[in-house]
Structure formats: structure tokens, C-alpha cells
Structure 1
Amino acid sequence: MIDAFLLRALAAGLMAALAAAPLGCFVVWRRMAYFGDATAHAAILGVALALGFDLSIFVGTLVTAFAMALFVSALAGRGWAMDTTLGVLAHSALALGLVAASFLTGTRVDLTAFLFGDILTVRPSELWGMAAGTLGVLALMAWRWEALLTATISEDLALSLGVKPERERLILTLALALAVAVSLKVVGALLIGALLVVPPATARVFARSPERMAVGAVFVAALAVVAGLGASLTWDTPAGPSIVVAAATLFVAALSVGSLSSDRRAR
């Protein structure tokens, strides 16, 4: 018999994969890896605020992640040098969250669980919040897929077709905040960026269209969740990092297979 906590962990991992993988394709296409990191690191501040004001951690994480994503988008719109700015914001938000958590009294906070994930302790009530967040991300992706894709390819093309790049950027920002809130319990704030980037990067090796890349990314992310959980239970390793290691292994394998296929075609 499979224990209930394992089923909850698997469900949580698969929901995180469903939320992060399609969105991660846009993160890869737009070269927004640092943007994802800054949003994810702000989640720790959301955890501290939620515990301090006795709010839902999911809500606190979502609000702070969305606020950080909006702030970063506003800076990008004003022409700031985003590489350096995102580095400053990401590390500052993480440090501020850790400092804020140290001031909490009467509340025991396991920061390791929020930094690196603690998927094996997901409660049934938390699954409902994750399910709502996952459905929100998928609904946004399905609703605005063509518009988001057009704005990603060319903002000038989007404007000529009546698509507003600023609106699509805002929708992408909201979806990213939802994905961070869903994935925090699975892989933690420090590793969410990997879940957003690695599966889409793996799927891109073989994909021949954006839609196939998104589907492939979901498959890779789900496989990484299953493999990572299996490795964690077998060798007693941390579940969140094990999932990321599994995703990285699939990426290396995909690159190797892709390289061999290219060499054969060249001959």
C-alpha cells in the first residue's frame, strides 16, 4: 500500500510541474531566468509576513511574489540594466525575508523547508491551494497563449496585430507569481528557478514548435518529479534538490542524444 503522504507529495509535485513547465517556456524564450529567481526569492519575505500576521502562507507568498514581479517589470519598462538590477533585488529580497523571519516570536520557522522545499510534508489543505494556483496558471496560459507568443516573438509585430505587449507582460507576471506560490513547498525558493528553466530547456532540444516544447516540458518536469521522489525515498536524500538533480540529468541526457542525432545527420 502506498502511504497517503507519498500520494500527496506526488500530487503536489505534478501540480508544480504543470504550473511551472509551460510558463517556463516563456521564461526561456524571453531570457527571464533572473526574473524568475527574483520573484522566487521574494517568496521567503512573503512567508515571514504571512507567519507574522497569521495569514495563509500561500497567500503571503503569492502577494509578495506578484509585488516583486510587478516592481521588476516596471523597472524593465524604464530601461534599467536588468542583469545587475535583478541580481540586487533577488539577493536583497531573500536576505530581507530571512531577517524578517528572525524577528518572529512564538512561531517556530523551519526556513530550510521554504528554501529547499519539503514536499513530503504537504498537507491535504495545502493541496487545494496548489490546485487552485495550478489551474490559474494553466487558464492564463490557455487564454493568452497566442498573444503571449506573439509578444515574445516581436513586440512590434504584436502591436501591429492589436496585441498590447504591456498587458501580456502583466499576465505573464501574474502567472509567474502563481507558479512560485505553487512550487515553493515542492522545491523551495532557491530551486524554483531550476524547475522553471531546466524542463523547457530539455524539451527544446527535440521540439519543433512552441506547443510541442510546452507539452514536452510538462512531460520532462513530471518525469523529474517522479524520479526525484523515488531517489529521495531510496537513498534518503532531500526531495526538492533530488527533483532538480533528476531534471538536470534529463537535460544532460537530452543534450547527448541530440548531439548524437546531429552527428548522424551530418554524415
Structure 2
Amino acid sequence: MFELIYPGLLAGILLSFSTGPLGSFIIWRRISSFGDTLSHSSILGLAISILFEIDSFYTVLFFMIFLAIVLAWIEKLLSVSLETILSIISHSSLSLGMIFISLMSTSRHIDLGNYLFGDLLIVTVFDLFIIALGSLIVLTILFFRWNSILLLTINEELAQIDGVNIFYARLTLMLTTALSISIAIKFVGVLLTTSLLIIPPATAQLFSDSPEKMIFFSILISIISVTGGMFLSFFYNTPTSPSIVFFSSCIYFLSNIKKIM
């Protein structure tokens, strides 16, 4: 039994090491819609990959990196709030991607099921290598840019006074999030990736009194969610990724109840 779910379980655990810290920063900066924007926009990246018959993983990865750079410049140049920009781009990209896919589906068969909801049970050894490499890159960047990104998150004006390049610190956070989401989408799916980014850090926030503790608990809760969700999926024959998100949500609500009591 364990041999069947081991690759997917290991993939989920490796993803937790990047989604936990990045999700914490997303919650601190109150830009949870940024994850939604990248996830929804990946549908347009998928449509482009189908149109030009290019590997979808690399197309989505480069498309989201490009989008993260564009968003960072837009936030710098325009006076409109980031939330407004994210909402417009999210819905526009999703709509355009679905239009392209619907037009192409008349000439070829396109199955969006796995892409929307993911499937951790189809993980290969090469996939594990990509996930491990992606998580290592994210953790390395966060380690070396920790002070500047954290200071930006706490107080942007104070960070600027302290000599932090606001644009590059913001861009670093956006690019690492884009990398993490593009990797996670293949296995967790477009509709559930943001949940994996947000719910464990939101739970960890209830028990943390410092940024470092919150990131540690985010990773731990994410690993517990992945493990619990996969075993739930195996024993009750439910979809893997939704089971993980459901298990994570249960931990969040139970933690809130315990906190109140």
C-alpha cells in the first residue's frame, strides 16, 4: 500500500518546503489574490503550449515568470492598488485561456481534469527531482534575501530608509512564488494550488509569535495536511488533491476552535 502513495507523498512534502514560507509572506503582505492570479493565468499558458505544441510545464513556468515581472513593474508604475490589478489580470487571463482552449478543442481532444485538480499519484522520479530542485531554489533565495523581503513585508517605508531596493525585493518574492506555483500546479492543480499556499500558513499564524516560527509551523502543517489527505484519499477512494485541501481546512477550523476555547 505504502509503495503506491510514497512518490506522491514525497512530492507533497517537498512542495511544502516552498509553499509554506512563500504562503507566509503572501499572508503577511495580504496579497492572497496574487496566488490566484498566477494559478488562473496558467490556463492561458496551457493554451499557448497546446497551440504551439510545446511542453506545458515549461510554457507555464516561463509564462508565469513573465507575468510576475509584468506585475512587479505595473505595481511600481501605476497608482492603482495591486488587488485591483490582480483581479483584472486573473479574470482576463482565465477567460482568454478558456476561449483559446474551447476553440482548439474542436480539432483535438483536450482533457483539463488533471490540470485543474492535479494528481499526485502520477509522480515520476524525474518529477521528484524537479520539485526538489524548485523547492531548493526557493529556500536558497529566501535564505539570502530574508532580511530585505521581511523588512519589505513589515514596513515598506522603513525598508526603503534601510537601503532595501523595494522593487527587487518585491520582484524576488513574486518570482519565487511564480516558480513554486508553476511546479505545484502540475501535481495539485490550478484550482487547489492557492489553497496549499494559504491554508497551512493561516493555521500556523494562530500558534506563532515570530516570522521564523510561523514558517516552521507552515511547513509542518503543510506536511501533515499532505500526509493526512493522501491517506484519506487512499482509504476512501477520494480525489487526492481535494482530499489534501479538505484535510488542511479541517486542521485550520479545528485550530481556530481550540484557540477560542
| TM-score normalized with structure 2 length | 0.92
1:138 counterpart residue number: 139
Indicate yes or no: 2:98 matched with 1:98. Answer: yes
- Aligned residue for 2:2, secondary structure, equals coil
> Is the CA contact (8 Å cut-off) linking 1:228 and 1:245 kept in structure 2?
yes
> Is the CA contact (8 Å cut-off) linking 2:72 and 2:167 kept in structure 1?
no
2:183 counterpart residue number: 182
**How many aligned positions are there?**
259
Partner amino acid, structure 1, of 2:79: G
> Is the CA contact (8 Å cut-off) linking 1:58 and 1:129 kept in structure 2?
no
Divergent runs of 4+, >6 A: none
Deviates more, 1:82-91 or 1:206-215: 82-91
> Deviation string for 1:107-126 (max 9, x for gaps)?
64321111111111122222
Partner Cα distance (2:6, 2:182) in 1: 20
1:12 counterpart residue number: 11
1:81 counterpart residue number: 81
- C-alpha change, 1:53 and 1:126, in structure 2 (3 Å) is farther
> Is the CA contact (8 Å cut-off) linking 1:116 and 1:191 kept in structure 2?
yes
Q: Give the Å deviation of 1:192.
A: 1.3
- Aligned residue for 2:145, secondary structure, equals helix
Partner Cα distance (1:105, 1:146) in 2: 51
Partner Cα distance (2:205, 2:81) in 1: 28
2:210 counterpart residue number: 209
> Deviation string for 1:24-56 (max 9, x for gaps)?
011000001111100111122222323433433
**Which blocks of at least 5 consecutive residues in structure 1 are unaligned?**
261-267
- C-alpha change, 1:12 and 1:110, in structure 2 (3 Å) is farther
Indicate yes or no: 2:25 matched with 1:26. Answer: yes
Alignment of 1:124-163 (within 5 A): 124-163=125-164
Partner Cα distance (2:12, 2:106) in 1: 31
- Aligned residue for 1:190, secondary structure, equals helix
Partner amino acid, structure 2, of 1:202: T
Alignment of 1:187-266 (within 5 A): 187-260=188-261
Deviates more, 1:158-167 or 1:85-94: 85-94
> Is the CA contact (8 Å cut-off) linking 1:39 and 1:66 kept in structure 2?
no
Partner Cα distance (1:107, 1:129) in 2: 29
Partner Cα distance (1:179, 1:119) in 2: 16
Alignment of 1:2-81 (within 5 A): 2-3=2-3, 5-77=4-76, 78-81=78-81
Partner amino acid, structure 2, of 1:99: I
**Which blocks of at least 5 consecutive residues in structure 2 are unaligned?**
none
- C-alpha change, 1:96 and 1:140, in structure 2 (3 Å) is same
Deviates more, 1:97-106 or 1:132-141: 97-106
> Deviation string for 1:211-237 (max 9, x for gaps)?
000000000111100011111111111
1:110 counterpart residue number: 111
> Is the CA contact (8 Å cut-off) linking 1:203 and 1:217 kept in structure 2?
yes
1:263 counterpart residue number: none
